[in-house]
Structure 1
Amino acid sequence: MAPIRIEPQNAWSVATPAAESEAYNGPPRNLAAINALDFDESLLPKHYQILGTHPESKMLFLDFNILDSTGSLEGYMAYCIVSQRFTHVGMVPDANELAKNPKVRVFHGRGRTLMSGLGDAHTHFTWNGGDLGRLGELHVEEHVLLTARSAQCYIDSGYTMCFGAASAKEQLDVVVRDAINAGDIPGPRYLANGQEIARRDGDLVAGITAYADGPEEMRQVIKHHVKLGVDQIKLSTSGEEITEIRSAQDCYFSDEETAACVDEAHREGKRLCAHARARDSVKMCVRHGVDVIYHASYIDDEGMDMLRKNKHRHVVAPGINWIIATLEDACAFGYPPAKAEEVGYKKELVTAVGGLREMHRRGIVVLPGGDYGFAWTPHGTYARDLVHFQKLLGFTAHEAILAATAGVAKLFMREHELGAIKPGYFGDCIVVDGNPLEDITVLQDHDKLNIICINGRVHKAGRVEYVAPPVMGQDDNGHNIVPNMDFPEVKKQMQKNY
Structure 2
Amino acid sequence: MAPAPLEEPWYSPAANLTKDTYTGPPRNIASIDALTFDPNLKPKRYKIKGTSPDSKILFTDVSILDSSGKTPYKGDVLIEGERYAAVGTVPNKDDLINDPKVKVINGRGRTLMSGLGDAHTHLSWNGGDLNGLGEMGVEEHTQLTADSAKIYLDSGYTMCFGAAAAKDLLDIEIRDAINEGAKPGPRYLANAREIARRDGDLVPGITAYADGPEEMREVIRRNVGLGVDQIKLSMSGEEITETRAAQDCYFSDEETAACVDEAHKHGIRLCAHARARDSVKMCVRHGVEIIFHGSYIDDEGMNMLEEKKTSHVVAPGINWIIATLEDAEKFGYSRRDAERVGYKKELDAAIRGLREMHRRGIIVLPGGDYGFAWTPHGTYARDLAHFKNLLGFTAHESIIAATRGVAALMMQGDELGQVKEGYYADCILVDGDPLNEIECLQDKDRLDVIIINGKVHKEKQVMAKD
Normalising by structure 2, we get a TM-score of 0.98
1:208 corresponds, among 187, 206, 209, to 206
Q: Displacement, 1:362?
A: 0.3
1:475 corresponding residue in structure 2: none
User: Secondary structure of 1:77's partner?
Assistant: strand
Q: Is the 8 A contact 1:13 1:351 kept in 2?
A: no
Give the residue type in structure 2 aligned to 1:423. E
2:449 corresponding residue in structure 1: 451
2:287 corresponds, among 289, 292, 295, to 289
Q: CA RMSD in A?
A: 1.2
2:249 corresponding residue in structure 1: 251
User: Partners of 2:306 and 2:371 in 1: how far apart?
Assistant: 31
Q: Displacement, 1:154?
A: 0.1
Equivalent positions of 1:382-421 (< 5 A) are: 382-421=380-419
Give percent identity, aligned residues only. Answer: 67
User: Partners of 1:217 and 1:447 in 2: how far apart?
Assistant: 49
Give the residue type in structure 2 aligned to 1:29. R
Segment drifting more, 400-409 vs 98-107? 98-107
Q: Displacement, 1:130?
A: 1.2
Matched, 1:84 2:77: no
User: Partners of 1:9 and 1:156 in 2: how far apart?
Assistant: 38
Equivalent positions of 1:10-49 (< 5 A) are: 10-12=10-12, 16-17=16-17, 20-49=18-47
Give the residue type in structure 2 aligned to 1:284. M
Segment drifting more, 212-221 vs 1-10? 1-10
Give the residue type in structure 1 aligned to 2:198. R
Distance 1:132 1:310, change over 3 A: same
User: Secondary structure of 1:197's partner?
Assistant: strand
2:304 corresponding residue in structure 1: 306
After superposition, the C-alpha distances for 1:210-249 in whole angstroms (9 at most, x for unaligned) are 0000000000000000000000000000000000000000
Give the residue type in structure 2 aligned to 1:11. Y
2:226 corresponds, among 225, 228, 231, to 228
Matched, 1:427 2:425: yes
Larger Rg: 1
Distance 1:14 1:350, change over 3 A: farther
Q: Displacement, 1:14?
A: 11
User: Partners of 1:304 and 1:7 in 2: how far apart?
Assistant: 17
2:276 corresponding residue in structure 1: 278
Q: Is the 8 A contact 1:427 1:453 kept in 2?
A: yes
1:109 corresponding residue in structure 2: 107
After superposition, the C-alpha distances for 1:123-145 in whole angstroms (9 at most, x for unaligned) are 00000011111101100010000
User: Partners of 2:203 and 2:96 in 1: how far apart?
Assistant: 55
Aligned residue pairs, count: 466
1:476 corresponding residue in structure 2: none
Q: Displacement, 1:93?
A: 1.7
2:159 corresponding residue in structure 1: 161
User: Secondary structure of 1:134's partner?
Assistant: helix
User: Secondary structure of 2:86's partner?
Assistant: strand
2:348 corresponds, among 337, 347, 350, to 350
Q: Displacement, 1:79?
A: 1.1
Which runs of no fewer than 5 residues in structure 1 stay unpaired? 469-498
User: Secondary structure of 2:74's partner?
Assistant: coil
User: Partners of 1:48 and 1:467 in 2: how far apart?
Assistant: 32
Q: Displacement, 1:2?
A: 4.3
User: Partners of 2:38 and 2:2 in 1: how far apart?
Assistant: 34
Which runs of no fewer than 5 residues in structure 2 stay unpaired? none
User: Partners of 1:213 and 1:12 in 2: how far apart?
Assistant: 36
Q: Is the 8 A contact 1:4 1:251 kept in 2?
A: no
1:178 corresponding residue in structure 2: 176
Normalising by structure 1, we get a TM-score of 0.92
Matched, 1:98 2:96: yes
User: Partners of 2:390 and 2:221 in 1: how far apart?
Assistant: 40
2:437 corresponds, among 439, 449, 454, to 439
